[in-house]
Amino acid sequence: MLRRYDPSNESHFAWDEKLQKARFRSGGLRFDPEGDTTGCSVFRRRVLENNGLSPADVLEDVTWTMVEALVADIRAVVRDGLHPFDVVADPYPRDIDDPPLVDAAHALITYKDSLPRNAKKKLHQRLASDVFREASAGSS
């Protein structure tokens, strides 16, 4: 799963002085209401590639970049013995004529159950720090 973000936005990205490397932050994971579902937009790399597209095709701006995670790793996050996240296909989420081809690869990270706001914030931090990594050029 690929997630685009703006590296100039300090809520999305920060420099970790201790580790001397860039670090994706939870502010880059925005969970918005989408119809009957609240989810964080991501793109399926394999679907992009099957349509002759690359991760760069989903970037909103040339200065933006991507992080990626495996679906299994997203679903493996645990809170109180339960796995709170799911990933569901959400192709062509916008009701527009002639949608861009990248929309075929759209998916959502969703919650399986309702959670308190503080719990969601901690889970977002865990996804950003433990699950998502800088996107590679190859397939995942």
Q: What angle do CA 133, 32, 62 make, to 5 degrees?
A: 50
Please give the backbone phi and psi of residue 121, each rounded to the nearest 5 degrees, phi first.
-60, -45
Instruction: Answer with the residue of higher pLDDT: 118 or 33.
Output: 118
pTM: 0.87
- Condensed to tens digits (0 to 9), the pLDDT of residues 45-61 reads 999 999 999 999 999 88
Ranges 26-40, 81-95, 100-114, 118-132: which has the least confidence? 26-40
Is the model's pLDDT at 82 over the cut of 80?
A: yes
Distance CA(70)–CA(1), nearest Å, equals: 6
Q: What are phi and psi of 101, to 5 degrees?
A: -60, -30
Q: Give the Cα separation of 112 and 43 in Å (integer).
A: 19
Domain parsing of the chain, residue ranges: 2-134
pLDDT over 90 (residue 27): yes
- How is residue 100 written in tokens? 């861009």
